[in-house]
Amino acid sequence: MTYLPTWRSTKSKSRENYLRILRGPHEDFILNEYSRSYLEKQQLAACHLSKLKFSDQVISKGDLEWSKYIEALGITNQLESNW
């Protein structure tokens, strides 16, 4: 199934807000092989990339669960994690 983004105006033009707009009403976080390829192209540090498990399983539902997931992996500093 293909989902089209829901566009809405925001006051902030940050990358984080852009990604939220693209995902629309969908809040599931999944790290699949496409995600791995993207993170490698974005040059995510190997020490962080090695901590992530890639599959088609939902990792979390919503931003709070996602934050808890990456914090549990030891990826806590935005500058360090390159997110």
Q: How far is CA 83 from its chain centroid?
A: 8
Is the pLDDT score of 53 beyond 80? yes
43 SS3 class? coil
| Residues 7-51: tens digit of each pLDDT | 455 555 676 677 677 777 888 889 999 999 998 998 988 999 999
Confidence band (pLDDT; 50, 70, 90) for 80? very low
Evaluate whether residue 43 is within a structural domain.
yes
Answer yes or no: is 50 within a domain. Answer: yes
Q: What is the span of the domain harbouring residue 50?
A: 15-81
Which residues make beta-bridge pairs with 61?
A: 28
Question: Is residue 2 included in any domain, yes or no?
Answer: no
* Residue that wins the pLDDT comparison between 54 and 83: 54
Residue 7 covered by a domain: no
- Within a domain: 28: yes
Please determine, for residue 70, whether its predicted confidence score (pLDDT) is greater than 80. Answer: yes
With beta carbons less than 8 A apart as the criterion, state whether 59 and 31 touch. Answer: yes
